[in-house]
Amino acid sequence: MPFIPHTENDIRRMLDCIGVSSVEQLFDEIPAGLRSETMERVPEALTEHEVSRLMSQRAAQDGQPLCFIGAGAYEHHIPAAVWELTTRGEFYSAYTPYQAEASQGTLQLIYEFQSMMTALLAMEVANASLYDGASALAEAVLMAIRANRKSKARRILMPSAVHPAYRQTTHSIVNNQQIELVDVPYDDQGGHTGLDRLAQHEGEDIAALVIAQPNFFGVLEEVDALTDWAHANGALVIAVVNPVAMALLKPPGQWGEKGADIVVGEGQPLGVPLSSGGPYFGFMCSKQQYVRQMPGRIVGRTVDRDGRTGYTLTLQAREQHIRRSKATSNICTNQGLLVTAATIHMALLGGEGLRRVAQASHANTRKLVAKLSGEHIRLRFDRPYFHEAVLSSTLPLKRLLRPLYAHNLQPGYVLTEAYPELGESMLVCATETKSDADLELYRSHLERVIEKQTTAGCPVQPKMA
């Protein structure tokens, strides 16, 4: 709230009404020892102009670097109309649509979002979104445990090629609920989850298999074979997908003979800008038979007694609405603002527009990989990829990339911490926002740095992994 209009008289009248003499009395339950008498660390008050100038200066410190980092957050072009409409007061200030008769616009928009996601992913039902992609995967794991009634085990096969942050978040949420996440290593040559990696789990009691498409390395998985293997072994399939990639690749509802059972992912690529770490939103779809195990809300379309179309919250498996023991999750928000942006974004682009975005992103990444590859840089995995790829270096990346940062370039996501076994490797990404000049600028800077460091005697690995 930028401006509080209460005068001293207003405050006095409110205090008199509730029967206290001062605002301080409202906090008398806080022990004196926990109170701060002075505010020494709070700086002196600034004028509105000074505050605006300070915040502008701090924002400018971030700069506008040329970014080739993906790793789950992607820079796509967002048509100006998306956020001009999203930030209209009708949407911007809307919250949970508890009263259907007063929230028809919000409910219709969420219904359209659900319809678009089911069409994009070839699934039967979608909910009104989740917090983010990582927590959506955790919710999908919990949902799979509830839904797979044939399985007595609380075990989930979790490939190590799934996003590290997604795996960590899922572990944090489900670990204390006696659910085991069984690591499945990736193939060293292809970077994918091969059927040979699943062979040791043949015939075991597994509740679900997680399949990422593309996986964290940008590599495309053999989704048909993996899906059929899971179903043949009595496990459900949880798909973790990039929604832009799904405009180009086979949707999870068509994987294998029966399709994926639950689909989740991060919705940020659909009209949400990169904003210093958020906010993002997660999406979830499933087969109709598992709809009552879905967390969050589902909006449905109906008709009133006069035959007019109306929208309402059809299914709300939250503890605020049903008995706590029957609730699937305590998710309290539908991330409505970001869903609004995503819905408008998809409506403006349409299916063909989204395909063009995916195609351009894929083409640019292939161009980037070709430009950067050489004696000291090469593609790490030998399988097809979407719009990001892992590059390995014979030179220490810390020294190699430092000069690029100084040239206002964000060259990629270094994998040393998450995947130390890959050695000097990084994940690079190029979406449709990158021009040929951008790719050439990256190449020229990197080539110059490599030449300088090799002639200066920088240690070189004898052979890349």
The answer on pLDDT for 460 being more than 80 is no
- Could you tell me if residue 259 is inside a domain? yes
Same domain, 124 and 170: yes
The answer on pLDDT for 119 being more than 90 is yes
- Among the three residues 315, 346, 377, which one is the final residue of a domain in this structure? 346
Same domain, 238 and 318: yes
The answer to whether the CB of 347 falls within 8 A of the CB of 407 is no
- SS3 of 78-108: the string is CCHHHHHHHCCHHHHCCCCCCCHHHCHHHHH
- Could you tell me if residue 5 is inside a domain? no
The answer on pLDDT for 1 being more than 50 is no
Same domain, 390 and 335: no
Same domain, 329 and 383: no
Same domain, 217 and 321: yes
* 316 C-beta neighbours (distance < 10 Å), count: 18
Give the pLDDT mean for 386-411.
95
The answer to whether the CB of 172 falls within 8 A of the CB of 204 is no
- Residue 430: C-alpha distances to residues 26, 74, 339 (Å): 54, 9, 25
Per-residue pLDDT tens digits for 20-29: 999 889 888 8
Tokens of 261: 């059972």
- Could you tell me if residue 32 is inside a domain? no
Give the total number of structural domains in the chain. Answer: 2
Show Cβ contacts of residue 79 under 8 Å, excluding neighbours closer than 6 positions.
Answer: 345, 348, 349
Share of the chain above pLDDT 90, in %: 74
Same domain, 326 and 411: no
- Could you tell me if residue 310 is inside a domain? yes
Highest mean pLDDT among 312-326, 401-415, 448-462 belongs to 401-415
Closest residue by Cα to residue 252 from 290, 210, 219: 210
Same domain, 189 and 304: yes
Q: Which domain holds residue 290?
A: 80-346
The answer on pLDDT for 212 being more than 90 is yes
- Could you tell me if residue 21 is inside a domain? no
* CA 224/CA 236 separation, integer angstroms: 14
- pLDDT band (50, 70, 90) for residue 53: very high
Look up the CATH number of the domain holding residue 392.
3.90.1150.10
Same domain, 205 and 119: yes
Q: Hey, what amino acid is at 187?
A: D
- Could you tell me if residue 17 is inside a domain? no
- Residue 413: C-alpha distances to residues 339, 417, 418, 426 (Å): 27, 10, 10, 5
Higher pLDDT, 167 or 329: 167
Mean pLDDT of the chain, nearest integer: 91
Same domain, 402 and 426: yes
Same domain, 342 and 390: no
Q: How far is CA 435 from the centre of its chain?
A: 25
Same domain, 70 and 194: no
- Could you tell me if residue 317 is inside a domain? yes
Query: Model pTM?
Result: 0.87
- Among the three residues 298, 315, 346, which one is the final residue of a domain in this structure? 346
Look up the CATH number of the domain holding residue 147.
3.40.640.10
Instruction: Please tell me the predicted confidence (pLDDT) of residue 323.
Output: 60
The answer to whether the CB of 114 falls within 8 A of the CB of 128 is yes
Q: In what order do the strands lie in the sheet with 180-184?
A: 125-126, 282-286, 262-266, 236-241, 208-213, 155-159, 180-184
- pLDDT band (50, 70, 90) for residue 399: very high
Same domain, 372 and 316: no
Instruction: Please tell me the predicted confidence (pLDDT) of residue 465.
Output: 46
* CA 449/CA 84 separation, integer angstroms: 42
Torsion angles phi and psi, residue 9, rounded to 5: -65, -40
- Residue 107: C-alpha distances to residues 66, 131, 311 (Å): 38, 18, 6
- Could you tell me if residue 450 is inside a domain? yes
The answer on pLDDT for 257 being more than 50 is yes
- Among the three residues 297, 326, 346, which one is the final residue of a domain in this structure? 346
